[in-house]
A and B are shown apart, each in its own frame.
Chain A
Amino acid sequence: MALSLMLRNGTKLRGIAGLQKCTFNVQKTQNFTQFLNQDNYKTLSLVNKCKTQFINVAQQSKRNMSADHGKLWTLEKIVSLALLGIVPATFLFCNPLLDDLFALATVIHFHWGLEACVIDYIRPIIVGPVLPKIALLLLYVISATTLGGLLYFNHTQIGIGRAFRQFWCISE
């Protein structure tokens, strides 16, 4: 008897189980309700749609936060690697060509470093939209004048390498 009852109502019970699953799905998508099992695939496609939307939003917000940095990153690393050789060589050999290379590589390197600092610490969300632009502009001015000054020194005076060498021999 019990068996016959279960057989009779089994389909209904299964229906309820499916129903609960459906409502759960609907809660996940937070959009609209679909109760019937046969429409399940619709909710599924809806979930997928929502997912792609979320991904799009994530990509867009990422794009809003920073520009594509891939190629510049490689260049930054090349300059850093070059500086590991240029800096000791400049102070050891006192060559005019090395002096100029030192000035150029150093200024490029510190410009990128300070640019990262400006972007990290002077953020539009904290200080407003104008100040970061002024800071970045100021940084460009500082970097350009510094490069000009160092090259001027190299070509009118003894050069960076020799200058530091002379200074280091101060106690002799």
Chain B
Amino acid sequence: MALLLRLTGNQLLRHQSKTLCKFVRPVTLKPSQYVPPVQMGHDERNMKLGRPQSPHLTIYKPQLTAMLSISHRATGIVLAGYAVMFSLAAVWLECPIEYYIEQIRCAELGPACIFGIKFTLAFPLLYHFWNGIRHLLWDTGRFLTIKEVYLTGWTMLAVTIASAIVLSGY
């Protein structure tokens, strides 16, 4: 009995050492110079891998959130353009501004045209003004849920259009 046990035990051991060989492979450790990891920025890595840029605008559905964000920047650029043009005009034009205002008055453009001019001036300013309040509120940590973002977005849009129409017709 004891012999039998020992024999089977040996058999098992041999079997196990075979299975062990699967996991154990000879390894030699060799010291080598430390090579610092390649420092690559997020954009660089993405470009190297040929990934599309995030956000992937061509596959995204135009949403209110993204549209209001980009138009906030767009209106900001437009207003900056107005300021630069006004400043250049102030330096380059020879006559005082009252003269040019009088010229426009004498041209008798008609109420629709004047409304149009005033609207193109007032709309970007009012949009940037009201949406700017929204952005500042976000910066204080308020109205940040998706529902609130959409609610304040539509409200802002309504207030902007209404105030722009009122101010342009004034």
A interface residues, Cβ below 8 angstroms from B: 1, 4-5, 8-9, 12, 16, 19-20, 23, 32-33, 35, 53, 57, 60-61, 64-65, 77, 80-81, 83-84, 87, 106-107, 110, 113-114, 117, 123, 125, 142, 145-150, 152-153, 157-158, 160, 163, 166-168, 170-171
Q: Is there contact, CB below 8 Å, between B43 and A113?
A: no
- Report the separation of the CA atoms of residues A106 and B125 in the bound assembly, to the nearest whole angstrom: 12
Q: Is there contact, CB below 8 Å, between B37 and A117?
A: no
Say yes or no for B80: interface residue by CB 8 A criterion: yes
Q: Which of B5, B29, B79, B170 contacts A168 (CB 8 A)?
A: B170
Name the residue in B13, B23, B170 with the highest tally of chain A Cβ atoms < 10 Å from its Cβ: B23
Q: Which of A113, A147, A171 contacts B76 (CB 8 A)?
A: A113
A135 to chain B, nearest CB (A): 14
With both beta carbons as reference points, the residue of chain B lying nearest to A139 in the complex is identified as B80
Q: Which of A8, A147, A167 contacts B9 (CB 8 A)?
A: A8
Residues of A close to B88: CB separation below 8 A:
149
Q: Is there contact, CB below 8 Å, between A145 and B87?
A: yes
| Chain B interface mostly | helix
Q: Is there contact, CB below 8 Å, between B170 and A110?
A: no
- Report the separation of the CA atoms of residues A153 and B139 in the bound assembly, to the nearest whole angstrom: 35
Q: Is there contact, CB below 8 Å, between B87 and A110?
A: no
Residues from 16 to 54 in B contacting A, C-beta threshold 8 Å: 16, 19-20, 23-24, 27, 29, 37, 39-44, 47
Q: Is there contact, CB below 8 Å, between A61 and B39?
A: yes
A109 to chain B, nearest CB (A): 9
A150 to chain B, nearest CB (A): 5
| Total contacts A-B at CB 8 Å | 112
Q: Is there contact, CB below 8 Å, between A149 and B170?
A: no
Say yes or no for B57: interface residue by CB 8 A criterion: no
Given A19-B24, A35-B24, A145-B87; 16 other pairs, CB 8 A cutoff: A9-B12, A53-B37, A60-B39, A80-B132, A84-B136, A87-B125, A113-B73, A125-B44, A146-B84, A146-B87, A150-B87, A157-B96, A157-B97, A168-B170, A170-B101, A171-B111
Say yes or no for B66: interface residue by CB 8 A criterion: no
With both beta carbons as reference points, the residue of chain A lying nearest to B115 in the complex is identified as A171
Residues of A close to B91: CB separation below 8 A:
148-149, 152-153
- Report the separation of the CA atoms of residues A147 and B24 in the bound assembly, to the nearest whole angstrom: 75
Question: Can you name 22 A-B pairs with beta carbons within 8 Å?
Answer: A4-B5, A9-B12, A16-B19, A33-B27, A61-B39, A81-B136, A84-B129, A87-B125, A110-B83, A113-B76, A113-B77, A123-B43, A125-B43, A125-B47, A146-B83, A146-B84, A148-B91, A149-B90, A150-B87, A153-B90, A158-B96, A168-B118
